[in-house]
């Protein structure tokens, strides 16, 4: 549970990091300035500390030398008087002299050559004064001093930093060692205070930098956020939103140019909307105005056509031509109107759950006679699966009829196979012919309006040149894909993929393009 909390908290922090420019900027600034302050503070602290202790050592060495001289003088006087005074008195006098010369220090003269040593204020002198130091002092020929930092144990168990300074005394020709032990707690405390001040100052500085960064970033990010919010509103369709312009700085320039953009966008959209309305209106008017006379022509042509048997041959043929060409004109008009409805965005989808296998069977049945007249066999391959999809069946049937018509036109009388397969999200229908196929250039243009693969080719399905363009629009209306594969001499395959649920987004198609042929299709010999 704790682990989970921790992970969730981490995720939230990551999210905040990712989503907020302000947080990111402040965090980076704090991190970098904190690092800089830490480096500067540490180096300052080290330098202050070493200076402090060096100065102290120099001072203590001098003090020790003074104390040594004072003690030496006491011993020398005692030696000159040659009066065998009580050695205790001499030693006390020396002790007083040392204490005067080096106030606050403890000292010890360790016992040597059978003589008793003296010591003041210190119990474990032996423990404090290391053998290395003693050896250095003992072996030195010069009357110089040696020092060593030590830790002074206190009554409360803590230790104070201390310094042991050793020197030699000459008492009646004998060498004695004199060690003075100083407590350096003052220097340590001074250093501690300096460090504390540095830490507090550093933290305050970092916090200040964080606050300043926060405010500065806010000043910069605020208008950007406002601009982002405003453009979101604009994108959502509210064309009247604008950014308030303040001052004359770069942010104000941003606001002004944004507002300019929004205004021109608004004008364009209003203009286009008006245009689209005019277009729709025009389509609707053309529809009515053209259809009424066309109906009269159609009725007249059909009446004549029905009586063509009783006409002289030329007139009968005229009636026939009139009949077929009126039909062609009608199809063309219908396709044109459909296309312009798409262009005007005035298309509505009438979707309901539909069994696409049944739909494909119906579409196949409708072209079967035509296919057989061309010598093409139609085959439907539909392994089980989900075949229900929310589609506008009229449009899908229109797509299928178009694809089948094209397959028959270009199929060279070879078999035509329709595959249907599906997965949980999508249904795909592929129409495959084994005819002439297309060049890559032709493939790229196959969905263009009024484009024909081969103008000299005879068309039996009476296509208008708009069929595939409309099919593409129909499939796009469903949120589907209409794709083509083709190879010269091997035929073509059109694959329609539709989402099973209206409004879903396709990610893949259940069918390959072209689908795997499986068992080889029996070759129908063609003349």
Partner 1 sequence: MRGHVNARILVVDDDTALAEMIGIVLRGEGFEPTFCDDGSLALAAFRDSKPDLVLLDLMLPGMDGIEVCARIREESGVPIIMLTAKSDTADVVKGLESGADDYVVKPFNPKELVARVRTRLRPAPTVTSGPLQIGDLTLDVAGHEVRRGDTRINLTPLEFELLLALAAKPEQVFTREMLLEQVWGYHYKADTRLVNVHVQRLRAKVEHDPDNPSIIMTVRGVGYRAGSTP
* Site residues (vs partner 1, CB under 8 A): 284, 287-288, 291-300, 302-303, 306, 330, 341, 348, 353, 362, 393-394, 397
Closest approach, Cβ 22 to partner 1, in A, equals 52
Closest approach, Cβ 478 to partner 1, in A, equals 17
Helix H or strand E segment including 168: strand 159-171
Q: What one-character DSSP code corresponds to residue 308? A: G
Among 357, 297, 287, 351, residue whose Cα is nearest residue 324: 297
For the chain, how many residues are written?
Answer: 527
Distance CA 476, CA 238 (A): 26
Cβ closest to partner 1, residue 86 vs residue 362: 362
Closest approach, Cβ 352 to partner 1, in A, equals 8
Cβ closest to partner 1, residue 50 vs residue 325: 325
Closest approach, Cβ 394 to partner 1, in A, equals 7
- Residue 411 dihedral angles phi and psi, to the nearest 5°: -85, -5
Closest approach, Cβ 338 to partner 1, in A, equals 9
User: Are the beta carbons of 241 and 258 closer than 8 angstroms?
Assistant: no
DSSP strands (E only) in 261-377: 352-355
- Give the three-class secondary structure for 76: helix
User: Are the beta carbons of 497 and 481 closer than 8 angstroms?
Assistant: yes
Among 247, 477, 511, 505, residue whose Cα is nearest residue 360: 511
Closest approach, Cβ 302 to partner 1, in A, equals 5
Sort strands 159-171 and 481-487 into parallel, antiparallel or unpaired.
Answer: unpaired
Among 193, 192, 121, residue whose Cα is nearest residue 152: 121
Sort strands 481-487 and 491-499 into parallel, antiparallel or unpaired.
Answer: antiparallel
- Give the three-class secondary structure for 142: coil
Closest approach, Cβ 288 to partner 1, in A, equals 4
Closest approach, Cβ 391 to partner 1, in A, equals 14
Cβ closest to partner 1, residue 57 vs residue 323: 323
280-301 as b/e: b if 16+ CB within 10 A: beebeeebeeeeeeeeeebeeb
Cβ closest to partner 1, residue 27 vs residue 297: 297
Sort strands 416-422 and 378-381 into parallel, antiparallel or unpaired.
Answer: parallel
Cβ closest to partner 1, residue 222 vs residue 353: 353
Give the tokens for residue 324. Answer: 């077929």
Cβ closest to partner 1, residue 169 vs residue 359: 359
Cβ closest to partner 1, residue 87 vs residue 353: 353
DSSP bridge pairs for 422: 427
Cβ closest to partner 1, residue 142 vs residue 348: 348
Cβ closest to partner 1, residue 365 vs residue 488: 365
Question: CA dihedral defined by 455, 457, 459, 463, rounded to 10 degrees?
Answer: -20
- Give the three-class secondary structure for 183: strand
DSSP bridge pairs for 178: 167
Cβ closest to partner 1, residue 134 vs residue 398: 398
Cβ closest to partner 1, residue 36 vs residue 297: 297
Cβ closest to partner 1, residue 208 vs residue 299: 299
Closest approach, Cβ 285 to partner 1, in A, equals 10
Closest approach, Cβ 214 to partner 1, in A, equals 58
Give the tokens for residue 126. Answer: 């032996």
Closest approach, Cβ 306 to partner 1, in A, equals 8
Distance CA 93, CA 83 (A): 15
Distance CA 93, CA 198 (A): 47
Closest approach, Cβ 223 to partner 1, in A, equals 47
Contacts of 515 (CB under 8 A, 6+ apart): 381, 419, 421, 430, 432, 493, 495
């Amino acid at each position: 549970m704790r682990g989970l909390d921790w992970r969730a908290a981490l995720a939230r922090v990551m999210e905040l990091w990712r989503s907020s420019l302000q947080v990111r900027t402040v965090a980076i600034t704090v991190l970098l300035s904190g690092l800089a302050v830490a480096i500067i503070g540490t180096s300052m602290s080290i330098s202050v500390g070493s200076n402090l202790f060096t100065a102290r050592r120099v001072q203590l060495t001098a003090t020790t030398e003074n104390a040594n001289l004072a003690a030496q003088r006491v011993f020398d006087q005692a030696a000159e008087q040659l009066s065998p005074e009580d050695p205790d008195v001499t030693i006390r006098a020396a002790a007083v002299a040392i204490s005067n010369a080096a106030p606050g220090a403890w000292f010890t003269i360790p016992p040597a050559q059978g003589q008793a040593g003296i010591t003041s204020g210190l119990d474990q002198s032996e423990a404090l004064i290391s053998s290395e130091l003693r050896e250095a002092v003992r072996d030195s020929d010069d009357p110089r001093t040696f020092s060593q930092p030590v830790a002074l144990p206190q009554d409360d168990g803590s230790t104070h930093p201390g310094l042991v300074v050793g020197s030699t005394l000459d008492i009646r020709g004998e060498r004695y060692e004199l060690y003075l032990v100083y407590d350096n707690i003052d220097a340590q405390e001074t250093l501690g205070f300096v460090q504390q001040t540095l830490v507090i100052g550093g933290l305050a500085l970092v916090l200040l930098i964080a606050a300043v960064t926060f405010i500065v970033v806010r000043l910069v990010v605020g208008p950007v956020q406002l601009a982002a919010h405003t453009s979101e509103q604009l994108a959502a369709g509210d064309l009247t939103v604008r950014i308030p312009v303040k001052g004359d700085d770069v942010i104000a320039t941003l606001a002004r140019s944004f507002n300019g953009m929004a205004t021109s966008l608004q004008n364009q959209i209003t203009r286009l909307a008006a245009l689209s309305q005019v277009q729709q209106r025009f389509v609707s008017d053309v529809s009515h105005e053209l259809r009424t006379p066309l109906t009269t022509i159609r009725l007249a042509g059909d009446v004549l056509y029905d009586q063509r048997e009783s006409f002289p041959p030329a007139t009968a043929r005229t009636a026939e031509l009139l009949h077929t060409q009126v039909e062609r004109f009608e199809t063309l008009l219908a396709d044109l109107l459909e296309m312009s409805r798409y262009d005007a965005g005035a298309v509505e989808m009438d979707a309901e759950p539909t069994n696409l296998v049944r739909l494909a069977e119906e579409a196949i049945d409708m072209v079967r006679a035509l296919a057989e007249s061309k010598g093409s066999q139609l085959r439907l391959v539909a392994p089980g699966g989900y075949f229900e999809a929310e589609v506008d069946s009229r449009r899908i049937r229109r797509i299928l009829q178009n694809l089948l018509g094209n397959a028959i036109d270009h199929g060279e009388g070879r078999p035509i196979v329709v595959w249907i397969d599906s997965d949980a999200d999508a249904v795909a229908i592929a129409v495959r012919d084994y005819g002439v196929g297309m060049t890559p250039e032709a493939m790229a243009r196959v969905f263009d309006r009024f484009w024909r693969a081969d103008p000299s080719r005879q068309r039996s399905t009476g296509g208008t040149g708009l069929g595939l363009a409309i099919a593409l629009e129909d499939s796009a209306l469903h949120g589907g894909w209409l794709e083509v594969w083709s190879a010269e001499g091997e035929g073509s395959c059109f694959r329609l993929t539709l989402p099973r649920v209206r409004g879903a987004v396709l990610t893949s198609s259940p069918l390959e393009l072209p689908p795997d042929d499986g068992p080889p299709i029996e070759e129908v010999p063609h003349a």
